Structure formats: C-alpha cells, structure tokens
With several copies, the nearest count.
Chain A
Amino acid sequence: MGVMVSQGDPRLAVIGRRLARVARVVPVMSSKGGVGKTLLSCLLALALSERGARVGLLDLDVTNPTAHVVLGADLSKFPEEDRGVVPPLIGGVKFMSVAYYSGENPLPLRGWEIDNVVREVLAVTIWGDLDFLVIDTPPGIGDEVLDVLSYFPKHEPLVVATPSPLTVASVRRLLKLLTEAVKGELIRVVENMARDDSDIIADLAKKFHVGFLGKVRFDEGVDRAVGDIDALRRSRMYKDVSMIAEKLL
C-alpha cells in the first residue's frame, strides 16, 4: 500500500457545505449593463424578506460593487466573525459584498483575481439557513458569471432585460448560454424599465422556452430613493418587484 497525494485549492471543497442550508440560489443576470440588475437584486431581496423568507444578498460585481450604495450599507466596520464571516443584516437581508473590504476605492482586478475573490467569499461567508440567496452580477460574460455557473450546484437565473435593441442583442447571447447549462423552467426573464406595452421581451422568453415573470415599470422617482431602504420600500418600482417576488415564492 503506497502513499497517495493530492494538492489544490481547499476553498472549492467547502462551498457545498456553505450552501448546504440555502434552499434557492437566484443569480440576477444580464450581459448588458445599466438594465437594473443591482436595483432589482436589492429590491427583490427586500421584498422576499418582507414576505417572511430568510434572504441573503451577495454582490458579485467584484470590480464595481454598488449594491451597498442602494441599501445604504455602513462600510465603516468589517462584518462580525463567527467561525467565518457573518453577513450583516440590512433591512432584514443578510448582505455580503467585497466593498466591506475595498471601501469606495477602485478595485481593478484581472480575471483570475476576480475568481480568487469569488472563491474566498464563498468559502468564508456563513449564510446559515436561507430560503433565497440573491446574487447581483456584473455585465458581460466573464469570470464572475462563469464562476456562478460553475460553483453553484443549483441555481435559478433571473435575467433582466429592457426593450432596447442593444439589450436584446446581449440578452439573446446570454439566454443561449444559459439554456445550454440550466433547465429552461429554472430560467426566468424580467422586463425592467418598461414604458409601454411592447411584447419584445415576453416574446424573447417564449422563443427560448424560459419563464417570463412580468414587467417592472420605469419609475422616475426610484433614483432619489437609493441609499434609503424605507424610501425604496415606498417606491413604485418596489411594488412591481414585489409582484415578481410573489411569483418566485
């Protein structure tokens, strides 16, 4: 009987354990920037939590985190430690972001460094019991998005689209990628910043045989509510997102 040897990254080995008591993982995605991924992730997490679900929110837009700005999170102290890092409760949601550590400084990173951040955060964050883990992701199809697809054993992508030609081109590419990797019934599309009753996005969802959860209307006032959870909860966008949350529950 000889000696066997193995070497590698221990962080990947523990991710399964960290997510063991997380019932559903919902990455909010869109290859297009500025379609409302971050705002929608935050409002969705708040709306799910208001309905009694235990919710975590993870900002994986590593080189440009902004979810803390939406939530008005306090970056002046680090999250508590308890055999890992415990995401602070903000508006009832367990919120984790690299911004706790980078502050408002630039965080320019090469792809393999982004991958390292994702591994580190997934390995040390203690989510505990969650009904939903909502994940905000960056635009493009780079390391963060590939990591979400590779490291989470199961997930239900929520694709955000707006009815502009540039968004539709980007979302089509993303849906092609996602439908290869995830069962169609676990993928859902939301139309954001809807201004009229165009069916472009609903039709796109149908074409790819994925779910369509409805429209979130353009809400002129929502930008002014950014940073203030109570004001966000009073916004019209929150009302629309709450309907989406209902359908997810």
Chain B
Amino acid sequence: MGAARVVHEWALAEAIADYVFKSAPSAKRVRVTVRLGELQAVDEGILKFALREIMKSEGIACEVVLKREDCVLKCRRCGHEWLLKEVEFGEEVREAIHFVPEVVHSYLKCPKCGSRDFEVIKGRGVWVEEVSWE
C-alpha cells in the first residue's frame, strides 16, 4: 500500500509483466486476466496502473482484467470451512498478510477446533488466469 510509484504492488506488477513477456515474447497487443485473492488484499488501482506503465515502456498495448476472488479457509483437522470475511484482524496483521499471505497461520486458528492446520483453498494472492495474444 502507499503511493503508487513506491509500494510493493509494483513488484507484483513486474512479475505479471515478466510472465506476459515470457508467454508472448513478440506480441505487441496482449490481454491479461489476473485473479486477485482477497487474503493478500492487493490494491487493484495501483496494480493496474503499474502494469500499464511497465507495458507502455516496452511498447506493448495491454488490456488488464482484474478479478477478485473471495478467500475460503478449510481446516485439515476437523474439515470446517469458513470465510475470511467472518474474521477480524487488526491493521498490523492485515499488513503482514498483505506481504506474505501464509503468515495468516501465525494469527488465525480454526474457529471450530482451534487448529492452525488449515488451508487457504481459495483467494490467496496473485495468479495469471489468462494471457492471450494473436
């Protein structure tokens, strides 16, 4: 989070850009669909802005589609499934999870059995759902 030019979302945008360059080394027009998991809470505006800037500097026309994905958690011990929406975290914890989503295991337990052996079965972080080009 923070100002668009400096925040760490920029690094994730670079990752997406490099992924596009590797998938379509000579394409001049691409379309990229990115899934953003609720857990990591990436700033959509900044990510989109950074991705367009990077692509422009490489002379590529890029259409960016961002899709939010809700975060679902499932306990491996008791099988209970719950939504991140039902959980309340403080600002510091949310920020820590923003950088490394797996640290959610440091701050959360299964609401039913108390185990930390749960899985983020949906909605973790950044994933390229589709790069298409002609």
- Given A113-B105, A149-B77, A6 and B128 touching (CB < 8 A)? yes
Q: Find B134's partner among A3, A10, A109 (CB 8 Å cutoff).
A: A3
B100's contact among A81, A120, A177, by CB below 8 Å, is which?
Answer: A120
> Chain A's nearest CB lies how many Å from the CB of B57?
13
Interface size grouping (class) on chain B: 35 or more
Identify the stretch in B13-21, B59-67, B81-89 within 8 Å (CB) of chain A at 4 or more residues. Answer: B13-21
- Interface majority SS on B: helix, strand, loop or mixed? mixed
Q: In the bound complex, do residue B76 and residue A150 qualify as a contact, i.e. CB atoms below 8 Å apart?
A: yes
Indicate with 1 or 0, residue by residue over A114-130, a CB within 8 angstroms of chain B CB atoms: 10110011011010000
A80-108 contacts to B (CB < 8 Å): 81-85, 98, 100-103, 105-108
Tally A-B pairs: CB < 8 A: 150
User: Contacting A13 at CB < 8 Å: which of B2, B15, B127?
Assistant: B15
- Chain B stretch 36-77: residues in CB contact (< 8 A) with chain A: 76-77
With A3-B132, A105-B107 in contact, is A126–B11 under 8 Å at CB? yes
Contacts from B to A (Cβ < 8 Å): 2, 5-8, 10-12, 14-16, 18-19, 21-24, 34, 76-77, 95-97, 99-103, 105-107, 109, 114-117, 119, 124-134
Q: A17-B14, A81-B2 are in contact. List 8 more A-B contacts (CB 8 A).
A: A4-B134, A8-B128, A11-B126, A101-B96, A101-B97, A101-B100, A103-B96, A149-B77
Chain A residues in the interface with B (C-beta under 8 A): 1-11, 13-14, 16-17, 78, 81-85, 98, 100-103, 105-110, 113-114, 116-117, 120-121, 123-124, 126, 146, 149-150, 177, 180-181
